[in-house]
Structure 1
């Protein structure tokens, strides 16, 4: 056994924050207590286990604390020693208490391990019970008019929208039963190909708009029925860890309306219903709503998830933090383009994106991102997929790890696109698409045998039309 400073300090901070007396301490006392548990590593880096039960690293360039997954090399971890950072701890880094209780669920995508049969069957029952309602009573609104056929009721959209909003990384197996049961309702094939459906992150705005439109039009019972259906769908989904955190948050936002229908009346005239829903989210679930109000923080957390998903590379002599930055660079280059040589005159979409991402990364990861994009001969380029395949050194050791890498890489891609205002590619990002190649021959879980009569023909898993393929420089980079 060796001393692991990061593990020991994390356990210590968790114990301190978990003490009921923590929330009674004055803010300055809490910040001082946390500072006494900061770590100093041999390279001079200062680390702090703080808010959201995650690690932060003090940036030597900008003097700010950045969310940053800790090093995994045993020598670094064993040489880490407690050392007050010598700078004030920002209030945002001091754990409030409830944030340590947040269940992060799973970062896996929906390729490899299928959505459990029990969940898909309960969702099927919800669709069968609500598909036949009158379109006049439940009209589509907003973005759902582009997704669904004109004769589809908004109850179907409410189930779909809940699934998409609750999904951590909505990359789905092309054969996923849960998607194919929506086939007859969709106005066009979903983006992706026969292997994977690359879907956008669900919009809480669009979901809430279904309910708010009915409430504003005077159809209160229809509005409450939609809110109840969203809560019921989320209740089904939370049995799967890939949905659980956001499903719990959505239940907390929508379910109170069933007992107190007047809760949002004050927000309806001014169009502030979405804000009213977010305000109902309890403190221990606020992290689940980060994409809605803090896209930069959301990007930081997904990049942290990506580093954790790459932990297996540490035993192969690589630094997961540098590898994550290199893979981020590969996806940025794949979407925005990269010129050769890297310093050709003129501006580029890549430079714009990188400039927007820099403030949300620490100096080491910024440097790795910069080098991977700017220098074609840099070793970090060796992490990039070639011919649509991951390098052998990055191949995940098993299906579970591959699914987590796929999910975190796709979530990171969607997060940086949202942060920078870049449209996400409908054909997927380069890195997640390469990870899929590790899963396409082992992506389906065995399903229990069941009588054919249990299925309705109109919600069968066939829906072949659903699986048609749909058709979509680094000239300069900002200095570090």
Structure 2
């Protein structure tokens, strides 16, 4: 067995931070302990396993530590050694303790592996129970939901849908996904996507908060608090049902921590509602070990870094062929940016370390560079990048789609309604491995005149 410096250091740091004495150490002492566990690879790059239980790389250009997935090459990993001189460790990179307890869940999209039947049935029960709520009590507010639902759909249905989309790591759903069929009769127009996949945009936290806050402000006193409490309760019931699927769990747990107190004590956020600060109040209730789930809301740049890290990890299988997962991830990022919005690349460079930045640049600007060979061709991934199985392909699809949504959010770019080139190419790896079935459809009389949900399903 070969020495793997990255595995050894990660194991050592995890044990050190898990020690109850760690939290009591003064910050300088913790920084010194972390500095002794830095690594240097043969190319001179310095690495640190730090905050949020992830690796960071020291940028030799700007002198800053960047969140960066470690190298995948066994040769590079086995040659890593502690640096000859001690390095200063920024306090933000020093593990506090709770951040190491984070559960990252699964990066899989909802193509290939279905949403478990138990989850779907619990969501179905919520939709059935709340679909006929009086629309005077629960109107559909002016928000992103107006782009999805017919005007006479109650806000309770939007609350269930919005919670699903907020909790999903990567809301790319199989066109035959039973969970989506529950909402077909309420939709104002077809969901964005193609014959196989619904490429859905994430729902921002603001939209969920509005469903709750608007009810509190619409009616004075106890009546408004009662309606707001019901809306917060529906959000928490939906999040509780979603927890059974690891693709939802981390964000569902964060949402439960934020909305749960409002459901139990509907008047809790009334002062914040009148000050227009309910979103801040919810985010403040998120505990330290769950804050990673809210990064898209609080720091789009850091969220982009973490999703790109996930993409590198999802490409770990290419290391067996001698390819560098980090360089491949940068190339696939370039493939999406080049097609969707090449002008935004300058806004992405500051969030990458010097090596990833260089890989992204050459992949975009040099058609003859070998990294161009990673780009999809004729809608398919190169053979060398193909995942070995369904679960690996679903993880790559989810990480690629999440990364696309993240850089779009960071740069203010509208996500493409028919998917990003890389995500779409990964779908081709899953088409023959899907195990779903077209569900039986039923449309109630109340919404029968709006639209049929049959267009959701394709074979």
Q: TM-score, normalised by structure 1?
A: 0.91
CA contact (8 A) 1:388 1:430 kept: yes
1:339 is aligned to none
CA contact (8 A) 2:36 2:86 kept: no
d(CA) in 1 for partners of 2:84 and 2:120? 51
1:158 is aligned to 159
CA contact (8 A) 1:193 1:467 kept: no
Structure-2 change in CA distance of 1:5 and 1:264 (3 Å)? same
**Aligned-pair CA distance for 1:353:** 1.4
Give 1:3-82 correspondences, 5 Å limit. Answer: 3-82=3-82
1:472 is aligned to none
1:362 is aligned to 353
Cα offsets for 1:271-316 (capped at 9, x unmatched): 1111100000011000000000100000000000000000000001
**Candidates 305, 327, 334, aligned match of 1:329:** 334
Cα offsets for 1:294-346 (capped at 9, x unmatched): 0000000000000000000000110000000000000001102xxxxxxxxxx
SS in 2 for 1:155: helix
1:420 is aligned to 411
d(CA) in 2 for partners of 1:335 and 1:181? 31
Aligned-pair Cα RMSD in Å: 1.8
CA contact (8 A) 1:309 1:401 kept: yes
1:465 aligns with 2:450: no
1:270 is aligned to 275
Give 1:420-459 correspondences, 5 Å limit. Answer: 420-445=411-436, 458=444
**Which is further off, 301-310 or 218-227?**
218-227
Structure-2 change in CA distance of 1:84 and 1:57 (3 Å)? farther
Query: Unmatched 5+ residue regions in structure 1?
Result: 337-349, 470-480
1:372 aligns with 2:363: yes
1:199 is aligned to 200
d(CA) in 2 for partners of 1:309 and 1:426? 24
Query: Unmatched 5+ residue regions in structure 2?
Result: none
Structure-2 change in CA distance of 1:84 and 1:446 (3 Å)? farther
d(CA) in 2 for partners of 1:261 and 1:220? 5
**Aligned-pair CA distance for 1:97:** 0.6
1:384 aligns with 2:389: no
**Aligned-pair CA distance for 1:140:** 0.7
**Candidates 250, 257, 269, aligned match of 2:255:** 250
**Aligned-pair CA distance for 1:45:** 0.9
**Aligned-pair CA distance for 1:446:** 7.0
SS in 2 for 1:245: helix
CA contact (8 A) 2:229 2:264 kept: no
d(CA) in 2 for partners of 1:334 and 1:135? 42
Q: TM-score, normalised by structure 2?
A: 0.95
2:103 is aligned to 103
1:299 aligns with 2:304: yes
